[in-house]
Amino acid sequence: MSVPVGFRALPIPLAQLSLDTVLACGQSFRWFKHALPLDHPTSATHEYRFALHDRVVSLRQTPDTLLWKSLPDYDSTLPWLRDYFQLDVDLESLYTTWALRDSVFDTLVKDRFRGLRMLRQDPWENLISFICSQNNHISRISKMVQALCTHFGPRAGTLPIPDAPADEPTEQDYYAFPPPSALAAPSTAAKLRALGFGYRAEYIQRTAQMLLGEEYVPCEVDGWTSETARETADAKAQSALVALRERSTDEARAELLKLMGVGRKVADCILLMSLDKREVVPVDTHVYQIAIKHYAYRAPGSPSKSSANGKPTLTPKIYDAVASKFVDLWGDYAGWAHSVLFTADLKSFATYGLITPSETPGSSPTKAGLSESPLSSPTKRKRARNINTAVVLEAAAETLEEEEGDLVSRVKARKRQRSSSNVPR
């Protein structure tokens, strides 16, 4: 395999890392996805880009290699990639363990959703992103997070768009995530409301202020607060979050729950995705339904209790019981296993990794391992608009509550369809 100009190769099979699923399942919301011309059956089909502080990181993937580069080219990018994707964890070994312990995992997701691992994100970005996630869906969360970057974050760089048509923009600006000081000013809440953040606007502004400390007075006039003072305050605030990695799960959760807009589920997402608490299973009504449908879970004393909209009622007691059930089932990496089941049960991934009747295995790089995720590249009409509105990795347009049908039913239906199509005529 020839390595594209400017890229470097990191040997890693899809079974250990699948960008298509990892970057689309609602962990991170800032990866841009661009389609590439297909030059060879084993060529990468897409390029993913991410603004990391002072650089733009670009990734491509073939069945056995991760191709990467950064602009500017910093030596620290490769160590960051290894840390961000937690490549020290043997994912194939975990899948084998989970499949042995859990027949649902073995039957329904082990082979279809290879390479779905947890990211190790920056805790500050992870915190604000999941404050945005409340009562929201992946598409809208992505737009909100990108709006934060575009309006409040520093520009990390400008890159040409791969294979851009002549009549469309050929370059795109990439903005890094804003530091706490950029979001702490009292006027920030009004600006965020104008951008469509709703009640989350106050949560974001107040959380940024809380982390900086009440002694930090954000200035509304450019130049009043020195750049050094801002950088010092930001470093202190972000270091305090990173330090939670060294605390126990209960202690770290208690600290997160003190912040505005952070409840149990948001706190648990942060613990799992950026604070190294790999056993934590975030539970919402969707995960509760997975426990009921796939694992025959029933809440003690109220087997049929539900809310006004017909969804199961998730009480704190049930939250703890469901999380404990999955930890007992999957072990120390229960949060990782939960993410695979969670993704597999999303309607937007309903056909992911499946061979349709008109396709044959190995007929294209997509079917040879780079299965197409629900994140299609922008159409020509949408591409320019997406550059201006910073819409990234747009996944399911429906909320989790709008998911229809469960994974077991869909798989059984597909098996019946395949069986009927194979009957001799």
Catalytic residues: 265
Residue 32 contacts residue 175 (beta carbons within 8 Å): no
Residue 15, CA distances (Å) to 19, 44, 62, 65, 69 in order: 11, 16, 12, 11, 22
**Using CA atoms, how far apart are residues 343 and 117, in angstroms rounded to an integer?**
11
Residue 51, C-beta contacts closer than 8 angstroms, at least 6 positions apart: 30, 57, 149, 153, 156, 157, 174, 175, 176, 177
Rg (CA), the chain: 22
DSSP string, 373-397: PS-PPPPHHHHHHHHHHT--S---S
Residue 20, CA distances (Å) to 119, 240, 269, 372 in order: 13, 32, 20, 7
Of 362, 343, 339, which Cα lies nearest the Cα of 352?
343
Helix ranges (H only) for 243-284 are 249-256, 264-274
Q: What is the dihedral of CA 351, 355, 357, 363, to 10 degrees?
A: 130
**Using CA atoms, how far apart are residues 325 and 305, in angstroms rounded to an integer?**
19
- Which tokens go with 313? 């009622």
**Using CA atoms, how far apart are residues 10 and 77, in angstroms rounded to an integer?**
12
Residue 270 contacts residue 123 (beta carbons within 8 Å): yes
**DSSP state, 82?**
H
**Using CA atoms, how far apart are residues 163 and 388, in angstroms rounded to an integer?**
18
How far, in whole angstroms, is CA 223 from its chain's centroid? Answer: 36
11 φψ region: left (φ > 0), alpha (ψ -120 to 50), beta (else)? beta
Residue 90, CA distances (Å) to 84, 85, 294, 340, 341 in order: 14, 11, 26, 15, 18
